[in-house]
């Protein structure tokens, strides 16, 4: 059979991730956060919003390198979303904390994610949406990667 091959699953997942990430960025830009990036979620999903979190713990929780996390934190610090402060438990260490602007950004990002999720659910319908979520959870579990829930 000749013809165009269907894209493989990894490519479809990557393209879906890119599309949803672009929708997320566009929505946050409309809400006054023109410097929002999908990669910021690595910090915002894993930071302790009250006391802050050490960079090494953020990197471990997000399953990324310390250097990669440092780049994201540097970017967020430049834009006023986080700041590094001395760790109250170890003066040699630093803790990454959300600023007031960072807390507002996180709240807006959560609302944006919820809106995107609701749109996807409407588009797919409840049954297909739940089937997609369930299938993705199964793929994650079978890969040995712990789920974020």
SS3 33: coil
Grade residue 1 by pLDDT with cuts at 50, 70 and 90: low
Predicted confidence (pLDDT) per residue in 74-131, tens digit: 999 999 999 999 988 888 889 999 999 999 998 998 899 899 999 999 999 999 999 9
Name the residue ranges covered by the structural domains of the chain: 9-142
User: Is residue 28 within 8 Å of 112, Cβ to Cβ?
Assistant: yes
Predicted confidence (pLDDT) per residue in 8-40, tens digit: 999 999 999 999 999 999 999 999 999 988 888
Specify the pTM.
Answer: 0.77
SS3 86: strand
- The two tokens of residue 136 are 């993705």
Cβ partners under 8 Å of residue 29, min gap 6: 36
Assigned CATH topology for domain 9-142: Arc Repressor Mutant, subunit A (1.10.10)
User: Is residue 96 within 8 Å of 44, Cβ to Cβ?
Assistant: no
CA distances from 24 to 21, 35, 50, 114 (A): 5, 12, 25, 10
Predicted confidence (pLDDT) per residue in 63-81, tens digit: 899 999 999 999 999 999 9
């Amino acid at each position: 059979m000749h013809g165009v091959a269907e894209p493989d699953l990894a490519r479809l997942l990557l393209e879906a991730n890119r599309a949803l990430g672009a929708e997320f960025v566009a929505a946050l830009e409309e809400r006054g956060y023109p410097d929002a990036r999908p990669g910021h979620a690595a910090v915002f999903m894993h930071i302790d919003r009250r006391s802050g979190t050490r960079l090494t713990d953020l990197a471990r929780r997000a399953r990324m390198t310390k250097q990669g996390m440092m780049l994201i934190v540097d970017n967020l610090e430049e834009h006023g979303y986080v700041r590094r402060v001395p760790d109250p438990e170890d003066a040699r260490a630093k803790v990454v904390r959300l600023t007031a602007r960072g807390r507002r950004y996180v709240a807006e990002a959560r609302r944006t994610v919820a809106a995107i999720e609701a749109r996807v659910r409407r588009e797919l319908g409840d049954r297909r949406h739940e089937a997609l979520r369930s299938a993705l959870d199964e793929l994650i579990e079978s890969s040995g990667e712990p789920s974020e829930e």
